[in-house]
Each structure stands twice: as C-alpha cells, then as structure tokens.
Amino acid sequence: MRHLTLPFQLTDADERIGADGITTTEEHRHGVLRLEDAALVVQWRVEREVHRVGIEMRSDRAADGMREVSVPVRLLGHARLQGSGWWMWREWALVIIARDLAAFDPLAGPDGFRFVHPAELVLPVRKADRAAAEEFASELELAIAEGALAALEEGPGGALPGSRAAAVGALPRADADGEAG
C-alpha cells in the first residue's frame, strides 16, 4: 500500500494595458500530489493577486477553496522527473503522461491547470523536493506497471495461464539431482 506525497506550486501571470491603466494578475496554485493505492490524488488551492495601476494604485488578494481530483492509475502511462537548463540553473519538473486523454480533464478549467498538451501534466519541482520527486515518479511508475500487469492477468477470459492469478507455485521445482519435477 503506497501513501506518498509531493508538494507543488504553479504560478501564472497575466498583464493588461489599457486606457484606464495597467492590470497585473498572478495566480498561484499551491497543491500536493498523493499516491494512494490505485489513484493519483491531486489537491490544490488557487490564490489570486490583482494589482491595478491607473488613477489609483490598488492590490487585491483572494483565495479559492481547496479542490481535489482523483485520477485512476490505470489511465496513466508514464511518469518521470525531467531536468532542463544548465548545472546551477537546472530546473526540475515531474512529468506525468496519461494513457487516456480523459485522465486529466477534471484538472482543467478556470481554477484548474493549463496544459501545453492535454496528455501531459507538468509540475515544477523545487530543488529541495528533487529526491522526493524522484521517489514519487518511481513509485508512480511501479503502480502503473502493477496495474497493467493486473489487467493483463485478469484479461477478458480470466487469468493468463502460468500467472500468479492462475495458480500459486506453478513454476517447476528442481530436485536435488537437478531434474525438474
């Protein structure tokens, strides 16, 4: 039974210049990924900062409620930690690729995530969390592989011949003489 967690933060910014002034909006998504048995659970909260400069200068802050989406591991295809940049300036991201385009649909939306590609969830990883992100990606890969193996063993006609589900101890044993029996 797996119960790993990994924190993340995404920041989006938008700036508009008009006749009435300049408006800058920053959205911070603070969240956590959890791997719970056969599901990847994504929790996050959006905080918005709006700065207006014109006739008056004003800053507003607002926080939305917490959201949670559970993505079945069977809909995921791959997870890896990906680095970009040079040596000291290297940045890391956890990349989770879906096996089904519908996997990340509940994460999208105005208060959700913006995807460059609908099958890729890319979350930046802080340097302090790099080791935890590597472990999280490895455990998620293992959960994906175990789920795929279980699906193959069950299959439409039951368990595959020779699989654990078909029979325990089905492998031949060698005698003391080296003959299979």
Question: Does any domain span residue 78?
Answer: yes
- What span, in angstroms and rounded, lies between the C-alpha atoms of 4 and 36? 7
Closest CA to 93 of 12, 10, 5, 4: 10
Question: Does any domain span residue 126?
Answer: yes
**pLDDT, tens digit, 9 for 90 and up, residues 128-142:** 999 999 999 999 999
Contact 10, 122 (CB under 8 A): no
State which residues form the domain around 7.
Answer: 3-153
Question: Does any domain span residue 112?
Answer: yes
Question: Does any domain span residue 170?
Answer: no
Question: Does any domain span residue 176?
Answer: no
Question: Does any domain span residue 102?
Answer: yes
Question: Does any domain span residue 60?
Answer: yes
Question: 169: phi > 0 → left, psi -120 to 50 → alpha, else beta; which?
Answer: left
CA 72 to chain centre: 11
**pLDDT, tens digit, 9 for 90 and up, residues 55-114:** 889 999 999 999 999 999 999 999 999 988 887 788 899 999 999 889 999 998 877 888
Provide the CATH number for the domain around residue 106. Answer: 2.30.29
Split into its structural domains, the chain has a count of 1
**pLDDT, tens digit, 9 for 90 and up, residues 11-33:** 889 999 998 899 999 999 999 99
More confident residue, 35 or 157: 35
- What span, in angstroms and rounded, lies between the C-alpha atoms of 38 and 149? 13
- What span, in angstroms and rounded, lies between the C-alpha atoms of 7 and 125? 8
Q: Tell me the pTM.
A: 0.75
Question: Does any domain span residue 65?
Answer: yes
